């Protein structure tokens, strides 16, 4: 089977190649051609139910190991980053028309949003605030809705231009998500992004199956069992069909090696959609996108969206959040239901994922109320924001969030 490239970066800032670690299978097969990995079936059974129809509510008293990370020293880049409590909202006009994009308007929106956030006019200076040429930069997208509703490749194009203008070589850039086959479906392929590694945690191997000849998951080494896991006193049993999307059972959710080993900086590029009466954007794109064994975490949804982002592999590496709200989904989430997708033509920018999610939450709730999907806002559905705020990840209180609102004509 043809391969699109082999990832040899260890994630260290010197970016030296190595073949001396046991994760070589991850690096080899995650970067394989789309032809082999796009065969993965749609989610079903327990995982489908858990992923597509959660019922966010006040978190039950389920113990986690969050206290273990509270005392871990922060670094200069730790959340909420350079601009706590600040959000730039760009109203993009007609950049999206039923999902068809006006590419120049998309580029103008991204660059204007970043300029407003940083105060820099030169795009090179904008990106140099967040990355250096020696960084391994991971662009975390959300490909959940295929080409109908996912992070737009055109948005990522503008990000790539900025990173390269700042001196980051293509070899040091990774576009990634939890599920490799969904990346292909959303248009994130080696052919579309030549020279950029396209990687996922859950994957099939060269035999076209999730299971190798020893009846073990090809993806089993893609999660880091040596790094501090997210532990929650909640468990779920998975059948053989569901296990490839979970990787492990039990009380531990392990982080992908993409965030523990490979990337030194992460640019978070979620989409804007509802989850019941609340929103999924920055925090959930990071937490559930980086962990194994997630279906069980819906039993503590509010906590499990926020708490994993306090772990150093996310807290200290995510330096920028760009919400692709060119289209949004106001109902049927957190799965992407085309019936409820509309041209929202808004983009959000910030280093503070909590503040950005607070603004995104209000946009989605307002849209739901305008469409008669819900009558009033349920304040309990914002609890994950205040959990994240208490962990020092950002600002949730709306009166403390400073919004720069810009309309492009």
- Residues near 319 by Cβ (< 8 Å), separated by ≥ 6? 77, 81, 82, 130, 131, 265, 266, 267, 351
Query: What are 241-259's pLDDT values in tens digits?
Result: 999 999 999 999 999 999 9
> Looking at residue 60, what is its pLDDT?
61
**Under the phi-then-psi rule, with left for phi > 0, alpha for psi from -120 to 50, and beta for the rest, what region is 16?**
beta
Tell me the mean pLDDT in the region 355-359: 98
The strand pair at 265-269 and 318-329 is best described as: parallel
Average pLDDT, the chain: 88
List, in sequence order, every residue forming a beta bridge with 114; answer none if it has no partner: none
In this prediction, residue 13 carries a pLDDT of: 32
CA trace torsion 54, 57, 63, 64 (10° rounding) = 60
The pLDDT tens digits of the residues spanning 119-160 come to 999 999 999 999 999 999 999 999 999 999 999 999 999 999
Closest Cα partner for 333 from 404, 279, 370? Answer: 279
Helix/strand/coil (H/E/C) assignment for every residue in 244-297:
HHCCCCCCEECEEHHHHHHCCEEEEECEEEEECCEEECHHHHHHHHHECCCHHH
Binned at pLDDT 50, 70 and 90, residue 6 comes out as very low
- The pLDDT > 90 percentage for the chain reads 81
State the pLDDT at residue 166.
Answer: 98
Query: Helix, strand, or coil here: 351?
Result: coil
| CA-based nearest residue to 304, from 237, 253, 378 | 253
Q: DSSP readout, 145-177?
A: BTTTBS--HHHHHHHHHHHHHTT--GGGEEEEE
Residue 15 has a pLDDT of: 30
Q: Whole-angstrom Cα distance, residue 306 to residue 157? A: 29
Question: Taking phi first (over 0 means left), then psi (-120 to 50 degrees means alpha), and beta for anything else, what does residue 174 get?
Answer: beta
The full 3-state SS of 1-55, as one line of letters, equals: CCECCCCCECCCCCCCECCCCCCHHHHHHHCECHHHHCCCCCCCHHHHHHHHCCC
Residues 42 and 212: beta-carbon distance below 8 Å: no
Neighbours of 61 (CB within 10 A): 7
Tens of pLDDT, residue by residue over 76-118, are 999 999 999 999 999 999 999 999 999 999 999 999 999 999 9
């Amino acid at each position: 089977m043809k391969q699109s490239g082999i990832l040899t970066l260890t994630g260290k800032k010197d970016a030296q190649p190595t073949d001396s670690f046991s994760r070589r299978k991850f690096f080899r097969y995650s970067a394989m051609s789309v032809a082999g990995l796009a065969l993965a079936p749609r989610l079903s059974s327990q995982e489908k139910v858990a992923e597509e129809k959660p019922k966010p509510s006040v978190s039950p008293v389920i113990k986690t190991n969050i206290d273990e990370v509270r005392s871990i020293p922060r670094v200069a880049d730790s959340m909420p980053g350079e601009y706590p409590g600040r959000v730039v909202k760009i109203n993009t006009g007609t950049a999206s028309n039923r999902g068809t994009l006006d590419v120049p308007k998309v580029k103008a929106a991204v660059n204007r949003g970043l300029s407003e956030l940083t105060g820099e006019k030169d795009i090179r200076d904008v990106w140099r605030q967040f990355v250096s040429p020696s960084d391994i930069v991971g662009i975390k997208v959300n490909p959940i809705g295929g080409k109908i509703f996912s992070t737009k490749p055109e948005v990522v194009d503008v990000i790539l231009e900025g990173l390269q203008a700042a001196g980051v070589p293509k070899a040091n850039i990774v576009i990634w998500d939890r599920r490799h086959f969904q990346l292909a479906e959303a248009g994130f392929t080696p052919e579309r992004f030549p020279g950029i590694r396209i990687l996922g945690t859950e994957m099939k191997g060269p035999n076209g199956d999730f299971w190798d000849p020893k009846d073990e998951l090809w993806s089993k080494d893609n999660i880091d069992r040596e790094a501090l896991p997210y532990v929650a006193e909640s468990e779920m049993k998975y059948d053989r069909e569901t296990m490839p999307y979970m990787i492990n059972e039990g009380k531990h959710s392990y982080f992908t090696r993409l965030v523990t080993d490979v990337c030194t900086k992460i640019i978070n590029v979620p989409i804007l959609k509802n989850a019941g009466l609340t929103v999924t954007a920055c925090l959930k794109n990071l937490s559930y996108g980086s962990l194994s064994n997630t279906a069980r975490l819906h039993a503590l949804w509010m906590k499990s969206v926020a708490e994993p982002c306090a772990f150093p592999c996310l807290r200290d590496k995510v330096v920028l959040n760009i919400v692709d709200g060119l289209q949004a989904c106001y109902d049927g989430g957190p799965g992407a239901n085309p019936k409820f997708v509309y041209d929202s033509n808004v983009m959000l920018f910030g280093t503070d994922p909590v503040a950005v999610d607070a603004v995104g939450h209000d946009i989605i709730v307002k849209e739901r109320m305008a469409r008669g999907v819900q009558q009033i806002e349920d304040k309990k559905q914002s609890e994950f924001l205040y959990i994240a705020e208490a962990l020092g990840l950002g600002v949730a209180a709306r009166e403390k969030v400073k919004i720069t609102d810009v309309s492009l004509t």
